[in-house]
Amino acid sequence: MMRKVLQKLGKADETKDEQFEQCVQNFNKQLTEGTRLQKDLRTYLASVKAMHEASKKLNECLQEVYEPDWPGRDEANKIAENNDLLWMDYHQKLVDQALLTMDTYLGQFPDIKSRIAKRGRKLVDYDSARHHYESLQTAKKKDEAKIAKAEEELIKAQKVFEEMNVDLQEELPSLWNSRVGFYVNTFQSIAGLEENFHKEMSKLNQNLNDVLVSLEKQHGSNTFPIKAQPSDNAPAKGNKSPSPPPDGSPAATPEIRVNHEPEPAAAATPGAALPKSPSQLRKGPPVPPPPKHTPCTEVKQQQTLSLFEDTTVPEISVTTPSQPAEASDVTCGTHPAAGAQEPGETAASEAASSSLPAVVVETFSAAVNGTVEGASGAGRLDLPPGFMFKVQAQHDYTATDTDELQLKAGDVVLVIPFQNPEEQDEGWLMGVKESDWNLHKELEKCRGVFPENFTTRVQ
């Protein structure tokens, strides 16, 4: 197990299998691609669900405004029900034929990943036993008993490693080749379901359109023209839709009806030509709106906020387009309105009013009998669940797999038991570095295995 140290000293060689390493790289790539596909598929399903809810609410609105005496009410309600059922069926089929298949596909990766990591540890044990056996054979004074025992341990370690290695050599290429068929089946299912859904939805939309056309024909005489309301400030020639002639004769310009053409935006809202206030035209970052009345210099000094005596903020409002443009002009000489303050002044006033409470809270702390409360538990160390004892690394150890700890000489490790005792190999411990635990408190992300003989017990 001293393979890493011995390799640095040039006294041991490492068993390399380039073909297996390529299989592991393919495995990691395949896992990454599958995880991303699963995430995007879940996002797609969430969007389908959101569209279903939006379509359902829109149909409910149509049912509410569709009066009982209008023709086609029953047909419109039936179309709304079928629309809802179609969305539900589409979502459920996506879950059954795409998402569940995706989950089954990814379910085989965790076990294989664990076996790859275990194979790496068994390879370390095999290299260590081989080096020990070779060193005994090349020693000047040979001990036949030790050589025989070392040979027995070497054969045992080699047998365990080769059993795991052969299984993985067969499974990894097969798993890698299966990705093509899986991707084809998944996207074919999604494309086919989406195609059928849009076909059925198109039929429902056409039926709804026929109902609405029938309603328009029977109530066509009840459509009303849109009469443009001239703005007080706009010139008379700005009216695009004049009122019908008083004698009932046809107008020179066709009337704009609600059911046929949209109303021009310029004539939809009376008084739309009123100029906006300067505060609504301002670009850039948000700034506080101007107050209702702009005080004079003397009044401003009296209304200055006292941060220690009064924390009440004066009522403020924003000038709206419906207010006269002269509302911002008050009798204060030539003082500008508060809404026209420079952005720098506004930002400075905000910073002054928002930063002081934080300073007060941090400066003053409660004390009992001359000691600050809350300081007693500052040095307490929370230990991970199942903590057994502490060890300290005596040598650097470079992790060879994702479930191993990277150690530097002097690192303190908190030893914890294995979740599955059967996964513990002889000479290996499970733990979490004390620095990582104190910083993150996340056992799942920080724990890992490490060789016991690289460390010494300190507690």
Reported as type and span, the H/E element at residue 120 is helix 109-137
pLDDT of residue 99: 92
* pLDDT tens digits along 272-320: 444 443 334 434 444 444 544 444 444 444 444 444 444 444 444 444 4
> Is 73's pLDDT higher than 80?
yes
What three-state secondary structure class fits 356? helix
pLDDT of residue 218: 84
Strand order in the sheet with 428-433: 448-451, 428-433, 412-416, 389-393, 455-457
Please name the amino acid found at residue 387.
F
Which domain does 418 fall in, by range? 389-458
Using only the alpha carbons of the chain, give its radius of gyration.
39
pLDDT of residue 348: 42
Reported as type and span, the H/E element at residue 193 is helix 144-218
Are 33 and 157 in contact, with CB atoms under 8 Å apart?
no
pLDDT of residue 42: 94
Domain-ending residue, one of 190, 220, 250? 220
338 found inside a domain: no
Mean pLDDT of the region 200-223: 86
377 found inside a domain: no
Distance CA 257, CA 259 (A): 6
* pLDDT tens digits along 17-41: 888 999 999 999 999 999 999 999 9
* pLDDT tens digits along 117-155: 999 999 999 899 989 888 888 888 888 888 899 899 999
236 found inside a domain: no
* pLDDT tens digits along 331-376: 333 444 344 444 444 444 443 444 444 433 343 343 333 333 333 3
pLDDT of residue 269: 42
pLDDT of residue 159: 92
Check which CATH number belongs to the domain holding 422 and give it.
2.30.30.40
What three-state secondary structure class fits 331? coil
Burial class (CB in 10 A: 0-12, 13-18, 19+), 222: exposed
207 found inside a domain: yes
At what angle are helices 18-65 and 109-137 packed, to 10 degrees?
170
364 found inside a domain: no
pLDDT of residue 260: 43
Distance CA 229, CA 445 (A): 67
Helix ranges (DSSP H) in 264-366:
265-268, 278-281, 297-302, 343-363
Check which CATH number belongs to the domain holding 128 and give it.
1.20.1270.60
3 found inside a domain: no
Give DSSP secondary structure letters for 29-43: HHHHHHHHHHHHHHH
Residues paired with residue 391 on neighbouring β-strands, in sequence order: 413, 457
Distance CA 284, CA 421 (A): 62
Mean pLDDT of the region 215-222: 76
Domain-ending residue, one of 185, 220, 255? 220
8 found inside a domain: no
Please name the amino acid found at residue 120.
G
Q: Which of 45, 40, 28 is nearest to 179 (CA)?
A: 28
% of the chain exceeding 70 in pLDDT: 62
Please give the residue that has the higher pLDDT: either 390 or 221.
Answer: 390
**Residue 445: band (very low, low, confident or very high) from pLDDT cuts 50, 70, 90:** confident
134 found inside a domain: yes
* pLDDT tens digits along 180-207: 999 999 999 999 999 999 999 999 999 9
Domain-ending residue, one of 203, 220, 237? 220
Count of domains forming the chain: 2
* Cα-based torsion angle of the residue sequence 202, 208, 212, 218 in order, rounded to the nearest 10 degrees: 120
